[in-house]
Structure 1
Amino acid sequence: MMSNAATDPRSLMLRPVALADLPALERIAAASEHGISSLPNDSAKLRLRIERSLEAFASMDDASGEETYLFVLEDRARGEVVGTSGIAASAGFHDRFYSYRNEFVVHASSQLGVSRRLHTLHLCHDLTGYTLLTSFYIAPDYSSGLAPQLLSRARLLFILLFAERFNDRIAAESPGLADAAGQSPFWDAVGRRFFAMDYPQAEAVTGGRSKAFIADLMPHSPIYVPLLPEAAQWAIGQLHPVGELPFSILQDEGFDADTYIDIFDGGPTVEASLGLLRTVKHARQLSLQADEGAPGAAQDWHLVVTGERASFRAVLAEIAQTAHGLPPGHEVRERLGLGDDAGARLLVSPLRPSALELERV
């Protein structure tokens, strides 16, 4: 695979997964570390995941909430899939979606004149029903530059375009600390006490990130963090190194990472309102009939998305912040296969909002 330095962002396209992508997904699932990807390292299960995604993209019925959408990032210059990302329409559709909620309680004695503020973890299903961002993976050679931005942020514009299918509250789990063998200090101190399995075994049994029946075996009383081993305390809210890139993108979007952690490995679970996220706040619709705006205006990198659900496509393009549209013959129209289709929806959002846009917030 070529180095990212030679990658032209214009060659990248995010699109719905297809059955022909199965070999690429098999490679990605095999390359993912323990507990990091929600893609199962099993060919039959991957095929089923693709088929369910195809059904979700193509369905004309009202959304039920059980839909899962899987996207692939393709380097079209090489005809190669270099990343995946996904959306689960409703977290915990079949089972409650469990997390630990960070809280602090105060214990005080007036006689002793002592007051202590203690960190506690409360098992909860506050995030049940939230729309969940899943399955982020980017090939190492593409992890710098703009490819991860397209892979992560374009999902938010998909949710915005088809908002009737999703919750306006969005969450995403990030992988917590685990060693090369997949052992997690948080799991060893908490989950393993009540579910006699190593972390990789528990991940395999639950089929990825479904945790309801494990939560049923966990204590529902608060866990006092100072009573945990030091390694487990340190692991709370900490990221596995491979999770740092997608996590940083979500933080930049405006997700809150302080309230919830994963019940498996203690990694941070972020959440936010869709309308407050940066990509959504600064999104605007472009006409396919209007011009590009003032000649010579500065060009900035934008996410550009179009299409109905099954034909959704997202690319990166340099467009003026003041542009009102893309005229016929514009190279972005060609890349998106729009041609002279003046009726297509075209939504764009800058990767870095201009000062003028920031003043409007």
Structure 2
Amino acid sequence: MLVVRPATLADLPQVISLAEQSHIGVTSLSTDMAKLREKIIVSKTSLDADVAFHGEESYFFVLEDSDTGRLHGCAGIVASAGFSEPFYSYRNDTFVHASRELGIHSKAQVLSLCHDLTGYTLLTGFYVDPDLKNSAVGEGLLRARLMFVANHPARFASHVVAELIGHSDETGDSPFWNAVGRNFFDVSYDEAERLCSLHSRTFIAELMPSYPVYVSLLPDDAQEVMGAVHPQSALSHDVLIREGFESDRYIDIFDGGPTLKADLASIQTVANSHLATVVVGERPVSASNYLVSNLGLSGFRAITVQTEWLPDAPLILSPEAALALAVTEGSSVRVVPLWSTGVQP
């Protein structure tokens, strides 16, 4: 059975393999062993900490086949983006230029480097095996983090953001980076992302122009990809939009990919998930797909199941599902319907 759980140091070799398979733009998945080790250690420390409000904590989860021990994906949450350094974005603004004497005014679209989103909770590091992307499990991994947030809202900010990978071609070339960032930091897009995965984005952001960038002065190919989503991020985009995230005004400073934003309380998984009491039994003949999690911290578990359930009613779990969640008859779990209709892999 495929189970979402917090990562441990024993997962490190497989997490490195997942990072190597992920797309260039997922900078939060460095292929550097020391960085990934630190990510897992920080996650464990955060889970063990007594937290009353969001701060420097971050959490990292893996999708494991409990029968084989193989990892099929990973996903993370940063409680406060930019806690130790500014979290940079480009804000899409409109400037109005006017000449009273000539009676002419015009509007210009500009990109302003900002750290407006510093302090927001950030969804990071999502990767799932390609053959699971269009399954209930792929959606479940994405939303399992939000189940964790729903269980422990005091650990997170009142707003949540997610940076999605922007457009780049099969060689890793990014039109937006070539038009903007490369003029101030003369390395390729993939090298810039690699450097940031090893260090941070701050040192590159400090070399970017502090004055607004006029969009009309950018090449057409760079303008066309602003806010565009890379196919690797299609699942994340579709699920997060259904969750209630919106594109708003922010894009990534490297590849121009969209930054989605939502109020925590209005996110569908947070607002519409329910607590239910477990009944251990055989799966109903007529069943739908659900995401179910226990209420733990370091013992957090989430799975996708096929069952029947109505709000305020008990939730029937098979003995295997109950074992995977580390719950028993009478335990409380959180449950939400999945949108995917595909058969569980």
Same-fold call, TM > 0.5? yes
Amino acid at match of 2:326: G
Residue of structure 1 in register with 2:244 after alignment: 254
Match of 1:66 among 51, 56, 63: 56
Distance change in 2, residues 1:75/1:297 (3 Å): closer
Q: Structure 2 CA distance, aligned partners of 1:61 and 1:130? A: 16
| Structure 1 unpaired stretches of 5+ | 1-10, 354-361
1:93 aligned counterpart, secondary structure: coil
1:151 aligned counterpart, secondary structure: helix
| Structure 2 unpaired stretches of 5+ | 341-345
Contact 1:170/1:272 (<8 A) preserved: yes
Match of 2:77 among 58, 79, 87: 87
Moved more, 58-67 or 119-128: 58-67
1:258 aligned counterpart, secondary structure: coil
Match of 1:306 among 280, 294, 302: 294
Match of 2:336 among 341, 349, 356: 349
Residue of structure 2 in register with 1:339 after alignment: 328
Contact 1:301/1:317 (<8 A) preserved: yes
1:202 aligns with 2:192: yes
1:157 aligns with 2:147: yes
1:221 aligns with 2:207: no
Deviation at 1:57, TM superposition (A): 1.6
Deviation at 1:333, TM superposition (A): 2.5
Contact 2:167/2:228 (<8 A) preserved: yes
Distance change in 2, residues 1:328/1:96 (3 Å): closer
Residue of structure 1 in register with 2:314 after alignment: 325
Residue of structure 2 in register with 1:175 after alignment: 165
Residue of structure 2 in register with 1:232 after alignment: 222
2:206 aligned counterpart, secondary structure: helix
Deviation at 1:352, TM superposition (A): 4.1
Q: Structure 1 CA distance, aligned partners of 2:72 and 2:171? A: 25
Deviation at 1:167, TM superposition (A): 0.4
**1:83-114 alpha-carbon deviations (Å, 9 max, x no partner):** 00000111001101110111223334466554
Distance change in 2, residues 1:58/1:245 (3 Å): same
Q: Structure 1 CA distance, aligned partners of 2:195 and 2:301? A: 34
Distance change in 2, residues 1:329/1:352 (3 Å): closer
**1:301-358 alpha-carbon deviations (Å, 9 max, x no partner):** 2211113210000011234342512369766434322124x3x4311111249xxxxx
2:85 aligned counterpart, secondary structure: coil
Contact 1:38/1:209 (<8 A) preserved: no
Amino acid at match of 2:338: L
Deviation at 1:234, TM superposition (A): 1.2
Deviation at 1:115, TM superposition (A): 4.1
Amino acid at match of 2:288: D
Query: Identity over the aligned pairs, expressed in percent?
Result: 42
Contact 1:298/1:321 (<8 A) preserved: no
Contact 2:181/2:254 (<8 A) preserved: yes
Moved more, 331-340 or 164-173: 331-340
TM-score, length-scaled by structure 1: 0.86
Q: Structure 2 CA distance, aligned partners of 1:203 and 1:45? A: 14
Q: Structure 1 CA distance, aligned partners of 2:18 and 2:148? A: 23
Residue of structure 2 in register with 1:8 after alignment: none
RMSD of Structure 2 on Structure 1 (CA) = 2.6
1:50 aligns with 2:49: no
Amino acid at match of 2:130: P
Residue of structure 2 in register with 1:287 after alignment: 277
Amino acid at match of 1:251: I
Residue of structure 1 in register with 2:5 after alignment: 15
**1:34-58 alpha-carbon deviations (Å, 9 max, x no partner):** 2235211122222222122111122
**Paired residue total:** 339
Distance change in 2, residues 1:62/1:282 (3 Å): closer
